[in-house]
Chain A
Amino acid sequence: MNSDKIHKLEKFNIKIEDRRIFIRLGYGTSSGNVNDQTKKIVLKAKNKLPSLLQPTAVFKILDYEETNKHPIFKDAKKVALCICTIGIGLEEASSKLLEKNEILDGLILDTLGSEAAEDVARQTDKYIANIAKEMGLWPSKRFSPGYSIWDIQDQAYLFNILPAEDIGVRLTDSFMMVPRKSVSFRINFYEDKNKTSRSFS
């Protein structure tokens, strides 16, 4: 029996550093390389963000015994499973720009979307890690299906446990998430601090 309730987060204060966008656009770490036109488009796109983002996350915390006991959950006392997204609005806006041959605007908006999705995942990760600490447990870093020994097909397990449709996320036959700017992950909660590589400063 799954003991924990479904948690849903809807209040996010998305913060995107220009530096991260410029790195993703290939400028490297020196912002001196960035031309004025690109800076202007980034600013314009950032101003559009509030109307394009619908950041939400759902997660659930399971006892190890309630999981499918996949090796990636080994030694965990509890496991948090999570799906988060920025919604479909930004993707649609970006696609429209690309169709209109406004390729750079579309690319920059898409890049902002990737960073926004990452920020939602980061904030949710932090929220879950705090729950682990309140339980007196040590949270692992977050890991997503498709990385390490966790096969991409295990997305289906997360989507079986979590009501992804409540936040507008679905899984394709090839285990991709729609909207694309979505992140799924798990965090193991350990009794032994030495089991996690997460840093606690």
Chain B
Amino acid sequence: MTKKKLQANGLWLLVMIVGYLAINLLVYTGVVDSFIENMLVTIGINIILATGLNLIIGFSGQFSLGHAGFMAIGAYATGIILQTVPTVGGFVGSIVVGIIIAIIAAIIVGVPTLRLSGDYLAIATMGAAEIIRVVINNMKITNGAAGLFNIPQFATWPVVYVLVCVTTIVIVNFAHSRAGRAIQAIRDDEIAAEAVGVNPTKWKLAAFVLGAATAAIGGSLHASYIQTIAPSDFGIMNSIALLIIVVLGGVGSMTGTFLAAIVLGVLDTVLQSFGTLRMVIYAVALIVIMVFKPSGLLGRYEFSFAHVLNRHKKEDAA
């Protein structure tokens, strides 16, 4: 049992390293130009943001529409700190500061709103994200509506790649532990979960806070990669764009989130040559996928090396 798990973990590590080397090689040989690299980084940042949102929506069952608000906190923390301390240390420090502020904000937002559910919670979290945006819009330190520009670029694709791996490991391991079982129990039936000793407020808040923290990381990377941020980058439409990734991939499937982020990222890049038709085709693609696969590309399916190894063993035996 444990040996198989070690094997599976080893395989994942191998995949991560091979992926890194492969992209590195392609960049080196020039197959991946700056255009495609831009696409890869955008996909990576979207994966970080969407896995966090999937933890909140798919695993703890809370319909949050405020993800862009927490992303804005990370982005502005990095933007402001990097403009005064333009070093690698400053970048790392700014990510940490962004996470801490996002956690505090998530607790302040979460404690009163997480007793709501469904549409009501969506509206409340949307409002909370709007408050964050409006506050940023009116502060001196954030340079108001004009936003920040010339932010030094530290978020290169290797940094993004490593952070995609780290946040995914954190979220997936969280979801497959005592905490994950508690939040999924609350999602399926809150009354029954309480009746077996699960404190719903505590666990819902834990999932919400962890999701917000990863959103802040995504925001930090966004700020330092794009180098220009403004409050209008973190509106309701950005929260919805992330929601689309989660729903399209399959609510509750992290593999699906990866797949959807990649599919949409590639689609977006490919369609750029179509000009104004781009958004139409994008929307039609979304509609087609939702009509033929209402539960998302992968439903609740989760890819796992442990299962693949198990199946292999059984086939060998047969």
User: Are these two chains actual partners, yes or no?
Assistant: no
Spell out A's residues near B (CB within 8 Å): none
